[in-house]
Structure 1
Amino acid sequence: MSDLAPTAVAVLKHIVRSIVDDPDAVTVEVDESGSRPALNVRVGDGDLGRVIGRRGRTAASIRTVTRAAASKDDVELDIEFLD
């Protein structure tokens, strides 16, 4: 877990693990190389579509909830879903 935004990382992992078929394959990495820190989410084969959802609505909702949790950590984050 990250020291940067522990609440946001925990919330993000919980939400994504509850959506996918293989919750053990979910990983969340913190990338601080950009202008704003990013949480990079990787899921198992075939689960990315479930996380993104139709027209990206599920991903947008996950981003909204995770950013709200990050505000508790006093951090602004980007959330990226990677293959």
Structure 2
Amino acid sequence: MKELIETIVKALVDHPNDVTVSEKETEKSIHFELSVNKEDMGKVIGKQGRVAKAVRTVVYAAGAQQNKKIHLDITE
């Protein structure tokens, strides 16, 4: 799942080396924190959050097989 997020986001940004994803797993959920370069925040979020919503939709769909709630936060 972590690799999926990195692959999607690295294709969108100008600074792919600055993309990092951290993962914290509990019994009922998996929490991902995506960190990108400050200059790339607009590209990752998109107009009215459409790109971020699309990335979250793909991640949630991929995580549905694990029967755990998936959270994805985007930070600088």
TM-score, normalised via structure 2 length? 0.86
Match status 1:11 vs 2:1: no
Task: Describe how 1:1-83 pairs up with structure 2 within 5 A.
Answer: 8-32=1-25, 36-72=29-65, 74=66, 75-83=68-76
RMSD: 1.6
Show structure 1 runs of 5+ residues with no match: 1-7
Instruction: Give the secondary-structure state (helix, strand or coil) at the position aligned to 2:34.
Output: strand
Paired letter, 2:11: S
Query: Quick check: which one's strand share is greater?
Result: 2
Deviation string, structure 1 residues 41-66 (Cα, Å, up to 9, x no partner): 00012001100000001000000001
Paired letter, 2:58: V
Conserved? CA contact 1:11–1:69, under 8 Å:
no
* Runs (4+) off by over 4 Å: none
* Aligned-pair identity (%): 31
Instruction: Give the secondary-structure state (helix, strand or coil) at the position aligned to 2:11.
Output: helix
Once the two structures are TM-superposed, the CA of residue 37 in structure 1 deviates from its matched residue by 2.4
Instruction: Give the secondary-structure state (helix, strand or coil) at the position aligned to 1:19.
Output: coil
Show structure 2 runs of 5+ residues with no match: none
Paired letter, 2:14: D
Residue correspondences, number: 74
